[in-house]
Structure 1
Amino acid sequence: MGSFIAAATAQGQVGRLLLGALVMVATIVIVNVLFWRPLTAWSERFRVEHTESAAVPRSLVLDLLRRSTVPARLARGARPAGEGIDRATRIFGRSTRSAYEDRAGSRARDLVFFGLLIATLAWGTWTLAAYFERTVGLAEFGPATLMGLASLARVIVLLIVSTVADTGEHEHTRRAA
Protein backbone atom coordinates (compact mmCIF):
# COMPACT_ATOMS: atom_id res chain seq x y z
CA MET A 1 0.00 0.00 0.00
CA GLY A 2 2.84 2.35 0.84
CA SER A 3 4.54 1.81 -2.52
CA PHE A 4 1.21 2.38 -4.34
CA ILE A 5 0.74 5.70 -2.52
CA ALA A 6 4.39 6.66 -3.12
CA ALA A 7 4.09 5.90 -6.84
CA ALA A 8 0.84 7.89 -7.08
CA THR A 9 2.50 10.81 -5.29
CA ALA A 10 5.57 10.70 -7.55
CA GLN A 11 3.36 10.67 -10.67
CA GLY A 12 1.09 13.41 -9.30
CA GLN A 13 -2.04 11.23 -9.49
CA VAL A 14 -4.18 12.72 -6.74
CA GLY A 15 -7.10 10.36 -7.40
CA ARG A 16 -4.94 7.28 -6.92
CA LEU A 17 -3.31 8.86 -3.87
CA LEU A 18 -6.71 9.42 -2.26
CA LEU A 19 -7.84 5.93 -3.26
CA GLY A 20 -4.74 4.42 -1.66
CA ALA A 21 -5.28 6.42 1.52
CA LEU A 22 -8.95 5.39 1.61
CA VAL A 23 -8.08 1.71 1.14
CA MET A 24 -5.44 1.96 3.88
CA VAL A 25 -7.89 3.56 6.33
CA ALA A 26 -10.58 0.99 5.45
CA THR A 27 -8.11 -1.85 5.95
CA ILE A 28 -7.08 -0.52 9.37
CA VAL A 29 -10.69 -0.13 10.48
CA ILE A 30 -11.69 -3.58 9.22
CA VAL A 31 -8.71 -5.29 10.89
CA ASN A 32 -9.47 -3.43 14.11
CA VAL A 33 -13.17 -4.35 14.09
CA LEU A 34 -12.80 -7.95 12.91
CA PHE A 35 -9.57 -8.92 14.69
CA TRP A 36 -8.15 -6.62 17.39
CA ARG A 37 -11.36 -5.66 19.23
CA PRO A 38 -12.63 -9.26 19.46
CA LEU A 39 -9.18 -10.42 20.57
CA THR A 40 -8.97 -7.68 23.22
CA ALA A 41 -12.48 -8.39 24.51
CA TRP A 42 -11.83 -12.14 24.60
CA SER A 43 -8.48 -11.72 26.38
CA GLU A 44 -10.18 -9.89 29.29
CA ARG A 45 -11.22 -13.28 30.67
CA PHE A 46 -7.55 -14.04 31.39
CA ARG A 47 -6.83 -10.78 33.23
CA VAL A 48 -5.58 -11.34 36.77
CA GLU A 49 -6.00 -8.20 38.85
CA HIS A 50 -7.35 -7.33 42.24
CA THR A 51 -9.59 -4.63 40.82
CA GLU A 52 -11.81 -4.73 37.76
CA SER A 53 -11.08 -2.38 34.92
CA ALA A 54 -13.43 0.59 34.66
CA ALA A 55 -14.31 0.01 31.01
CA VAL A 56 -14.65 -3.58 29.89
CA PRO A 57 -13.79 -3.87 26.18
CA ARG A 58 -16.73 -4.95 24.04
CA SER A 59 -16.77 -6.36 20.56
CA LEU A 60 -19.81 -6.70 18.35
CA VAL A 61 -18.04 -9.37 16.29
CA LEU A 62 -17.14 -11.42 19.39
CA ASP A 63 -20.71 -11.10 20.71
CA LEU A 64 -22.04 -12.33 17.36
CA LEU A 65 -19.60 -15.25 17.32
CA ARG A 66 -20.58 -16.23 20.87
CA ARG A 67 -24.28 -16.27 19.94
CA SER A 68 -23.76 -17.90 16.56
CA THR A 69 -24.00 -21.59 15.78
CA VAL A 70 -21.52 -21.22 12.89
CA PRO A 71 -18.34 -22.01 14.93
CA ALA A 72 -19.93 -25.19 16.33
CA ARG A 73 -21.06 -26.24 12.85
CA LEU A 74 -17.59 -25.56 11.42
CA ALA A 75 -16.04 -27.60 14.26
CA ARG A 76 -18.40 -30.50 13.54
CA GLY A 77 -17.48 -30.35 9.85
CA ALA A 78 -13.77 -30.26 10.64
CA ARG A 79 -13.92 -33.08 13.21
CA PRO A 80 -13.19 -35.90 10.68
CA ALA A 81 -10.09 -34.03 9.46
CA GLY A 82 -8.98 -33.46 13.07
CA GLU A 83 -9.42 -37.13 13.89
CA GLY A 84 -7.42 -38.06 10.78
CA ILE A 85 -4.60 -35.74 11.82
CA ASP A 86 -4.76 -37.22 15.33
CA ARG A 87 -4.40 -40.75 13.93
CA ALA A 88 -1.57 -39.71 11.60
CA THR A 89 0.42 -38.00 14.36
CA ARG A 90 -0.22 -40.63 17.02
CA ILE A 91 3.28 -42.07 16.48
CA PHE A 92 4.66 -38.87 18.05
CA GLY A 93 2.81 -39.59 21.29
CA ARG A 94 -0.57 -38.63 22.67
CA SER A 95 -1.26 -35.49 24.64
CA THR A 96 -3.03 -37.53 27.33
CA ARG A 97 0.22 -39.26 28.21
CA SER A 98 2.67 -37.70 30.59
CA ALA A 99 5.68 -36.03 29.02
CA TYR A 100 7.87 -37.78 31.60
CA GLU A 101 6.87 -41.32 30.73
CA ASP A 102 9.67 -43.42 29.33
CA ARG A 103 8.41 -44.35 25.89
CA ALA A 104 10.27 -46.87 23.76
CA GLY A 105 11.35 -45.41 20.44
CA SER A 106 10.51 -41.87 21.45
CA ARG A 107 14.01 -40.59 20.75
CA ALA A 108 14.08 -42.19 17.32
CA ARG A 109 10.74 -40.58 16.41
CA ASP A 110 11.92 -37.23 17.76
CA LEU A 111 15.11 -37.44 15.70
CA VAL A 112 13.14 -38.27 12.55
CA PHE A 113 10.66 -35.46 13.21
CA PHE A 114 13.30 -32.81 13.91
CA GLY A 115 15.46 -34.06 11.02
CA LEU A 116 12.50 -33.62 8.65
CA LEU A 117 11.73 -30.24 10.20
CA ILE A 118 15.31 -28.99 9.78
CA ALA A 119 15.47 -30.36 6.22
CA THR A 120 12.20 -28.60 5.34
CA LEU A 121 13.40 -25.31 6.85
CA ALA A 122 16.73 -25.59 5.00
CA TRP A 123 14.95 -26.28 1.70
CA GLY A 124 12.59 -23.32 2.29
CA THR A 125 15.49 -21.00 3.11
CA TRP A 126 17.40 -22.13 0.01
CA THR A 127 14.33 -21.68 -2.20
CA LEU A 128 13.64 -18.23 -0.74
CA ALA A 129 17.26 -17.14 -1.28
CA ALA A 130 17.13 -18.37 -4.89
CA TYR A 131 13.90 -16.44 -5.43
CA PHE A 132 15.43 -13.26 -4.01
CA GLU A 133 18.49 -13.67 -6.22
CA ARG A 134 16.32 -14.14 -9.34
CA THR A 135 13.99 -11.22 -8.64
CA VAL A 136 15.71 -8.38 -6.78
CA GLY A 137 19.21 -9.67 -6.20
CA LEU A 138 20.84 -10.60 -2.93
CA ALA A 139 22.51 -7.16 -2.72
CA GLU A 140 19.10 -5.71 -1.75
CA PHE A 141 18.61 -8.24 1.04
CA GLY A 142 21.02 -6.59 3.50
CA PRO A 143 19.61 -3.03 3.30
CA ALA A 144 16.02 -4.36 3.38
CA THR A 145 16.86 -6.43 6.46
CA LEU A 146 18.40 -3.39 8.17
CA MET A 147 15.32 -1.29 7.39
CA GLY A 148 13.11 -4.08 8.76
CA LEU A 149 15.18 -4.25 11.94
CA ALA A 150 14.95 -0.45 12.32
CA SER A 151 11.18 -0.70 12.00
CA LEU A 152 11.13 -3.53 14.55
CA ALA A 153 13.21 -1.42 16.93
CA ARG A 154 10.69 1.45 16.64
CA VAL A 155 7.81 -0.91 17.40
CA ILE A 156 9.64 -2.38 20.42
CA VAL A 157 10.40 1.10 21.76
CA LEU A 158 6.73 2.10 21.36
CA LEU A 159 5.62 -1.09 23.14
CA ILE A 160 8.00 -0.44 26.01
CA VAL A 161 6.90 3.19 26.35
CA SER A 162 3.21 2.29 26.21
CA THR A 163 3.70 -0.51 28.74
CA VAL A 164 5.55 1.77 31.15
CA ALA A 165 2.90 4.49 30.70
CA ASP A 166 0.09 1.96 31.22
CA THR A 167 1.79 0.54 34.34
CA GLY A 168 2.19 4.05 35.75
CA GLU A 169 -1.49 4.76 35.09
CA HIS A 170 -2.51 1.59 36.93
CA GLU A 171 -0.27 2.50 39.87
CA HIS A 172 -1.84 5.96 40.04
CA THR A 173 -5.37 4.44 39.94
CA ARG A 174 -4.46 1.88 42.60
CA ARG A 175 -3.08 4.53 44.96
CA ALA A 176 -6.18 6.69 44.51
CA ALA A 177 -8.45 3.77 45.43
Structure 2
Amino acid sequence: AVFGAAAAAARAALVEHREALKYGAAAGALLAVPAVRRAAWRLVITRFSSQESALEAAQGRLAILEQSMSSVRSDSHGALQRLERTRADAAIAAKRAGDAAADVRRLSERVGTVHTELRALRDGLRANSLGVAVQTRSHAALATKSAGELQAELAKASKMGG
Protein backbone atom coordinates (compact mmCIF):
# COMPACT_ATOMS: atom_id res chain seq x y z
CA ALA A 1 0.00 0.00 0.00
CA VAL A 2 2.86 2.34 0.83
CA PHE A 3 4.61 1.50 -2.41
CA GLY A 4 1.35 2.04 -4.32
CA ALA A 5 0.93 5.52 -2.84
CA ALA A 6 4.55 6.37 -3.58
CA ALA A 7 4.19 5.12 -7.15
CA ALA A 8 1.01 7.19 -7.62
CA ALA A 9 2.78 10.29 -6.28
CA ALA A 10 5.74 9.67 -8.60
CA ARG A 11 3.40 9.32 -11.59
CA ALA A 12 1.63 12.58 -10.70
CA ALA A 13 4.96 14.37 -10.40
CA LEU A 14 6.04 13.01 -13.77
CA VAL A 15 2.81 14.26 -15.37
CA GLU A 16 3.32 17.72 -13.84
CA HIS A 17 6.91 17.75 -15.08
CA ARG A 18 5.80 16.88 -18.63
CA GLU A 19 3.14 19.63 -18.53
CA ALA A 20 5.76 22.13 -17.35
CA LEU A 21 8.05 21.10 -20.20
CA LYS A 22 5.21 21.62 -22.66
CA TYR A 23 4.47 25.09 -21.28
CA GLY A 24 8.18 25.88 -21.23
CA ALA A 25 8.49 24.82 -24.87
CA ALA A 26 5.41 26.88 -25.74
CA ALA A 27 6.87 29.88 -23.91
CA GLY A 28 10.15 29.41 -25.74
CA ALA A 29 8.29 29.29 -29.06
CA LEU A 30 6.41 32.47 -28.13
CA LEU A 31 9.62 34.24 -27.17
CA ALA A 32 10.99 33.43 -30.63
CA VAL A 33 8.48 35.95 -32.01
CA PRO A 34 10.19 39.40 -31.88
CA ALA A 35 7.07 41.37 -30.84
CA VAL A 36 6.37 38.92 -27.99
CA ARG A 37 10.00 39.03 -26.95
CA ARG A 38 9.95 42.87 -26.86
CA ALA A 39 6.70 42.86 -24.88
CA ALA A 40 8.17 40.30 -22.48
CA TRP A 41 11.30 42.42 -22.03
CA ARG A 42 9.18 45.53 -21.46
CA LEU A 43 7.21 43.62 -18.85
CA VAL A 44 10.43 42.40 -17.20
CA ILE A 45 11.94 45.90 -17.33
CA THR A 46 8.74 47.47 -15.96
CA ARG A 47 8.59 44.95 -13.13
CA PHE A 48 12.30 45.37 -12.44
CA SER A 49 11.92 49.15 -12.52
CA SER A 50 8.95 49.07 -10.12
CA GLN A 51 10.80 46.66 -7.84
CA GLU A 52 13.88 48.87 -8.02
CA SER A 53 11.73 51.90 -7.11
CA ALA A 54 10.20 49.96 -4.24
CA LEU A 55 13.69 48.92 -3.13
CA GLU A 56 14.91 52.53 -3.27
CA ALA A 57 11.87 53.66 -1.28
CA ALA A 58 12.49 50.90 1.27
CA GLN A 59 16.16 51.91 1.49
CA GLY A 60 15.08 55.53 2.05
CA ARG A 61 12.70 54.45 4.82
CA LEU A 62 15.49 52.30 6.27
CA ALA A 63 17.88 55.27 6.27
CA ILE A 64 15.25 57.40 8.03
CA LEU A 65 14.68 54.63 10.58
CA GLU A 66 18.42 54.25 11.16
CA GLN A 67 18.74 58.00 11.65
CA SER A 68 15.78 57.94 14.05
CA MET A 69 17.31 55.02 15.93
CA SER A 70 20.60 56.89 16.18
CA SER A 71 18.77 59.92 17.55
CA VAL A 72 16.81 57.74 19.98
CA ARG A 73 20.03 56.03 21.11
CA SER A 74 21.66 59.41 21.67
CA ASP A 75 18.62 60.69 23.57
CA SER A 76 18.33 57.52 25.63
CA HIS A 77 22.07 57.64 26.40
CA GLY A 78 21.68 61.22 27.64
CA ALA A 79 18.60 60.24 29.65
CA LEU A 80 20.48 57.32 31.21
CA GLN A 81 23.35 59.62 32.15
CA ARG A 82 20.91 62.10 33.73
CA LEU A 83 19.23 59.22 35.56
CA GLU A 84 22.57 58.00 36.91
CA ARG A 85 23.48 61.53 38.05
CA THR A 86 20.07 61.87 39.70
CA ARG A 87 20.52 58.53 41.46
CA ALA A 88 23.97 59.60 42.69
CA ASP A 89 22.57 62.95 43.88
CA ALA A 90 19.72 61.13 45.64
CA ALA A 91 22.19 58.80 47.36
CA ILE A 92 24.25 61.79 48.53
CA ALA A 93 21.09 63.56 49.73
CA ALA A 94 19.97 60.42 51.60
CA LYS A 95 23.39 60.17 53.27
CA ARG A 96 23.26 63.85 54.23
CA ALA A 97 19.73 63.41 55.57
CA GLY A 98 20.93 60.45 57.66
CA ASP A 99 23.87 62.50 58.95
CA ALA A 100 21.55 65.41 59.76
CA ALA A 101 19.17 63.08 61.62
CA ALA A 102 22.10 61.72 63.65
CA ASP A 103 23.19 65.30 64.41
CA VAL A 104 19.65 66.17 65.53
CA ARG A 105 19.58 63.10 67.81
CA ARG A 106 22.95 64.04 69.32
CA LEU A 107 21.84 67.66 69.80
CA SER A 108 18.56 66.51 71.34
CA GLU A 109 20.45 64.30 73.78
CA ARG A 110 22.82 67.17 74.59
CA VAL A 111 19.87 69.57 75.12
CA GLY A 112 18.30 67.01 77.46
CA THR A 113 21.56 66.70 79.39
CA VAL A 114 21.98 70.48 79.62
CA HIS A 115 18.34 70.84 80.71
CA THR A 116 18.90 68.29 83.48
CA GLU A 117 22.10 70.07 84.55
CA LEU A 118 20.31 73.46 84.58
CA ARG A 119 17.46 72.05 86.66
CA ALA A 120 19.96 70.60 89.16
CA LEU A 121 21.81 73.94 89.23
CA ARG A 122 18.54 75.83 89.80
CA ASP A 123 17.57 73.48 92.60
CA GLY A 124 21.05 73.90 94.11
CA LEU A 125 20.77 77.69 93.88
CA ARG A 126 17.37 77.59 95.58
CA ALA A 127 18.78 75.46 98.35
CA ASN A 128 21.76 77.81 98.72
CA SER A 129 19.46 80.85 98.67
CA LEU A 130 17.29 79.33 101.38
CA GLY A 131 20.40 78.45 103.40
CA VAL A 132 21.76 81.98 103.01
CA ALA A 133 18.38 83.44 103.94
CA VAL A 134 18.18 81.27 107.04
CA GLN A 135 21.76 82.19 107.99
CA THR A 136 21.04 85.87 107.35
CA ARG A 137 17.94 85.73 109.57
CA SER A 138 19.91 83.92 112.18
CA HIS A 139 22.72 86.49 111.99
CA ALA A 140 20.19 89.33 112.03
CA ALA A 141 18.48 87.85 115.07
CA LEU A 142 21.83 87.49 116.82
CA ALA A 143 22.81 91.00 115.84
CA THR A 144 19.48 92.36 117.07
CA LYS A 145 19.87 90.43 120.31
CA SER A 146 23.46 91.61 120.69
CA ALA A 147 22.43 95.20 119.97
CA GLY A 148 19.65 94.92 122.54
CA GLU A 149 22.03 93.53 125.11
CA LEU A 150 24.53 96.27 124.36
CA GLN A 151 21.89 98.94 124.78
CA ALA A 152 20.80 97.37 128.03
CA GLU A 153 24.38 97.35 129.27
CA LEU A 154 24.87 100.93 128.11
CA ALA A 155 21.70 101.93 129.87
CA LYS A 156 22.92 100.25 133.06
CA ALA A 157 26.29 101.83 132.73
CA SER A 158 24.83 105.25 132.17
CA LYS A 159 22.57 104.85 135.21
CA MET A 160 25.44 103.79 137.30
CA GLY A 161 27.68 106.44 136.10
CA GLY A 162 25.36 109.18 136.30
TM-score clears 0.5: no
TM-score normalised per structure 2: 0.27
- RCO greater where, 1 or 2, for CA within 8 Å and sep 6 or more? 1
Q: Which has the larger radius of gyration?
A: 2
TM-score normalised per structure 1: 0.25
More helix per residue: 2
